[in-house]
């Protein structure tokens, strides 16, 4: 039985969409127990038929979006902190939230702790690409600001393990995000990480990748320091949103364009499906002793369902053990 | 008379599109002299009616896309190096090329030299935004990798001068690209630059800007270290290209979607115009004693015309002197 703690609050929609998602999930997966943390009186009744798969923990408070580590840890009545403590105390498999990213990263690291041998946890997002259903794993996208070359090697190992375990890619290709594809391009830590990765037998290292090509669907894992990963993530989101808004405006502009939309609608749905990031299930904190998944703050039940699904797959496939094994091998090599 | 040296070669299309662009330009602007450097025998005849506005310098070689500084400077028969030397020797106003970016940055810096008081030149691109005809100036996008806080302040001054002089924005708003909007977010050099910029009277500093909002049309100038600027530039290009490809595929997918295109075509043309980066005229190297403009390698005559136009406007409005004045004031304040 996979046991996951779910933070029911902290999403932009309160516990409405998270409740729907959890209900769907326990209908679809029988070997799972979800421990729901939040304002339980508001959603308890929905789960009467699933008492074998559901447990409740009451928590009345919600961690604010911007929160300092100290304030977070003091907020012991919040659904996030109560949830993380529950995972730790009962030695459960993982934690899923749509709440504050900062709170999630700090809380997971401080309460659940890093795996042995891991210097830094990485915030890792599977990105949708130009190719339908092909995801590219990019890490770190903002758990750190700066990272040492050794930390970048750690990210490569963890990203590789994730791509193998959850995305079922046999020998995932690993790239470094840089400002040129040639060896020697980029910041000092990236140039040094290149040298280390070339000699890392556990990894199928392919060299540098430029931001322009990152989402063309030909890369499995892309490694970057956190600050640059965050710029990449948000630049991509911003440009995609701009294009999306302009497409909508274009179809709405005139009577003719509206008619055009009626004809092209079905075809544009394929594009929408290709770019449907909701299926990726949000971002993952890799390097922590338990599975930790962060859904988008504005997740609807579909997106949140997929966040739970990612956590379930990670736990089911023993990703924590797999990463530990990779690091053991890596250290053995030295 | 504004005197600009034009590198006729080095574009992906040889001298074909550059010739067309120069012809158009001397038809439209009478107070300009263009000194055309390249395989002159191939395009000389086109300009017989414009002998007052045109001069020729023969150069048979082309700088390759990837070139080391040493190799560049030794390539004295190339159109780029000959062109830059011509600007220097005859004290002309500026230089325009569609050739190698690396060669352009190195060559401009080493042959034409930086202005006094400028620690670092910045590669600066005006980006199209969600709002039609509103450009946002972002620098540095890759002349440097890392930059000190003081260099970032210099970029802010130069970007401000460019926005005032060429884009006619009276009191341009200036932002720092970071991973959060609050003060204190980001890499050490960005946090330190924030403090310096808050006290910089010559600049209308507005704080941090996240990559997600950068192109929403509400920012005039955004300052970033070169490596992160390059990631931003290429992530934006990559995402826009992906969306563009998917739009095209969507319209081509079925008979219905093709009919839809016929109806919506006119409306989508407005979107295309909004995103038409060709009007921005490529990128500019700010901080050099002469005007230096780099058109995209794949510029057609329209894009190259606009690159010449940006150089013309910069020279006509004495941007070099304006930047020097800003730096003098800035130093006086200290």
How much is the pLDDT for A179? 93
- Contact (CB<8Å) B267/A246: no
CB atoms within 10 A of CB B27: 11
Q: Above 80 in pLDDT, residue B323? A: yes
B94 exposure class (CB count in 10 Å sphere: 0-12, 13-18, 19+): buried
Q: What is the pLDDT of residues B88-142, one digit of tens each?
A: 999 999 999 999 999 999 999 999 999 988 889 999 988 889 898 899 999 999 9
Q: What whole-number distance in Å separates Cα of residue B315 and Cα of residue B166?
A: 10
How much is the pLDDT for B329? 76
How much is the pLDDT for B333? 56
- Contact (CB<8Å) B260/A264: yes
Whether the domain at B1-118+287-334 and the domain at B124-277 fall into the same CATH topology = yes
How much is the pLDDT for A332? 61
| Residues of A whose CB is below 8 A from B214 | 235, 238
Q: What is the pLDDT of residues A53-80, one digit of tens each?
A: 999 999 999 998 888 888 999 999 999 9
pLDDT band at residue B332 using 50, 70 and 90 as cut-offs = low
Chain A / chain B CB contacts < 8 angstroms: 186
**Cα atoms in the Cβ-side hemisphere of radius 13 Å centred on A215:** 31
Q: What is the pTM of this model?
A: 0.90
B270 and A CB contact within 8 Å: yes
What mean pLDDT is predicted for residues A24-47? 96
- Contact (CB<8Å) A271/B265: no
- Contact (CB<8Å) B260/A240: no
Q: Above 90 in pLDDT, residue A282? A: no
Per-residue HEC secondary structure of chain B comes to CEEEEEECCCCCCCCHHHHHHHHHHHHHCCCEEEEEEECHHHCHHHHHHHCCCEEEEECCECCCCCCCHHHHHHCCCEHHHHHHHHHHHCCCCEEEECCCHHHHHHHHHHHHCECCCCCCCEEEEEEECCCCCCEEEEECCCCCCCCCHHHHHHHHHHHHHHHHHCCCCCCCEEEEEECCCCCCCCCHHHHHHHHHHHCCCCCEEEEEEECCCCCCCCCCEEECCHHHHHHHHHHHHHHHHHHHHHHHHHHHCCHHHHHHHHHHHHHHHHHHHHCCHHHHCCEEEECECCEEEECCCCCCHHHHHHHHHHHHHHHHCCHHHHHHHHHHHHHHHC
Which of A245, A253, A271 minimises the CB distance to B246? A271
Buried-state track B227-251, b at ≥16 Cβ within 10 A, e below 16: bbbbbbbbbbbbbbbbbeebbebbb
Nearest CA in chain B to A244: B243
Q: Which segment of A266-280, B111-125, B213-227, B292-306 scores lowest on mean pLDDT? A: A266-280
| Residues of B whose CB is below 8 A from A262 | 260
Torsion over CA: A265, A266, A267, A268 (sign) = positive
How much is the pLDDT for B268? 84
B48 and A CB contact within 8 Å: no
Give whole-number Cα distances, A224 to A138, A151, B4, B253, in Å: 8, 10, 41, 36
Q: Which segment of A27-36, A122-131, B112-121, B325-334 scores lowest on mean pLDDT? A: B325-334
Which of B212, B237, B267 minimises the CB distance to A237? B212
Tell me which residue of B25, B24, B86, B96 sits closest to B291, measured CA to CA. B96
B95 exposure class (CB count in 10 Å sphere: 0-12, 13-18, 19+): buried
The larger pLDDT score, comparing residue B206 to residue B322, is at B206
How much is the pLDDT for A307? 95
Interface confidence (ipTM) of the complex: 0.89
How much is the pLDDT for A260? 86
Average pLDDT, chain B: 92
- Contact (CB<8Å) A246/B66: no
How much is the pLDDT for B270? 83
What mean pLDDT is predicted for residues B159-169? 92
What mean pLDDT is predicted for residues B3-31? 95
Domain ranges of chain B: 1-118+287-334, 124-277
Is there a contact between B225 and B153 (Cβ–Cβ < 8 Å)?
no
How much is the pLDDT for B165? 87
| Residues of B whose CB is below 8 A from A142 | 179
Quick one: what percent of chain B has pLDDT higher than 70? 99
Q: Above 90 in pLDDT, residue B246? A: no
Q: What whole-number distance in Å separates Cα of residue A238 and Cα of residue B236?
A: 8
Q: What whole-number distance in Å separates Cα of residue A39 and Cα of residue B255?
A: 52
Beta bridge partners of A123: A285
How much is the pLDDT for A47? 95
Would you identify the CATH topology of the domain B124-277? Isopropylmalate Dehydrogenase (3.40.718)
Q: What is the pLDDT of residues A308-321, one digit of tens each?
A: 999 999 999 999 99
CATH class of the domain whose range is B1-118+287-334 = alpha beta
What CATH number is given for A125-281 in this structure?
A: 3.40.718.10
Chosen for mutation from A128, A179, A218 (greatest number of chain B CBs closer than 10 Å) is A179
Tell me which residue of B118, B44, B42, B56 sits closest to B86, measured CA to CA. B56
């Amino acid at each position: 039985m996979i046991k996951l703690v779910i933070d029911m609050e902290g999403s932009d929609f309160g516990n409405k969409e998270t409740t729907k998602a959890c209900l769907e999930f326990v209908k679809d997966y029988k070997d799972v127990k979800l421990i729901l943390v939040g304002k339980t009186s508001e959603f308890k009744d929905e789960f009467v038929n699933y008492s074998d798969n559901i447990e409740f923990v009451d928590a009345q408070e919600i961690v604010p979006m911007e929160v300092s580590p100290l304030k977070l840890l003091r907020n012991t009545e919040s659904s996030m902190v109560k949830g993380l403590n529950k995972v730790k105390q009962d030695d459960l498999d993982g934690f899923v939230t749509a709440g504050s990213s900062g709170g999630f990263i700090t809380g997971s690291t401080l309460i659940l702790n890093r795996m042995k041998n891991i210097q830094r946890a990485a915030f890792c997002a599977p990105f949708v690409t130009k190719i339908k259903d092909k995801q590219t794993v990019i890490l770190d996208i903002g758990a750190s600001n700066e990272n040492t070359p050794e930390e970048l090697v750690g990210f490569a190992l963890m990203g590789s393990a994730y791509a193998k375990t959850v995305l079922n890619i046999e020998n995932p290709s690993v790239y470094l995000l840089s400002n040129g594809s040639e060896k020697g391009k980029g910041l000092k830590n990236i140039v040094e990480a290149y040298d280390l990765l070339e000699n890392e037998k556990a990894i199928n290292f392919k060299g540098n990748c430029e931001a322009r090509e990152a989402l063309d669907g030909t890369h499995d894992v892309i490694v970057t320091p956190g600050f640059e990963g965050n710029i990449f993530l948000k630049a991509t989101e911003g440009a995609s949103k701009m294009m999306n808004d302009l497409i909508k405006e274009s179809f709405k502009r005139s009577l003719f364009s509206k008619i055009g939309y009626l004809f092209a609608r079905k075809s544009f749905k394929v594009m929408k499906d290709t770019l449907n990031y909701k299926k990726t299930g949000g971002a993952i904190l890799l390097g922590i002793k338990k599975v930790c998944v962060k859904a988008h703050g504005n997740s609807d039940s579909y997106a949140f369902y997929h966040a739970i699904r990612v956590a379930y797959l990670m736990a089911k496939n023993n990703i924590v053990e797999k990463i530990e094994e990779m690091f053991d091998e890596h250290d053995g090599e030295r």
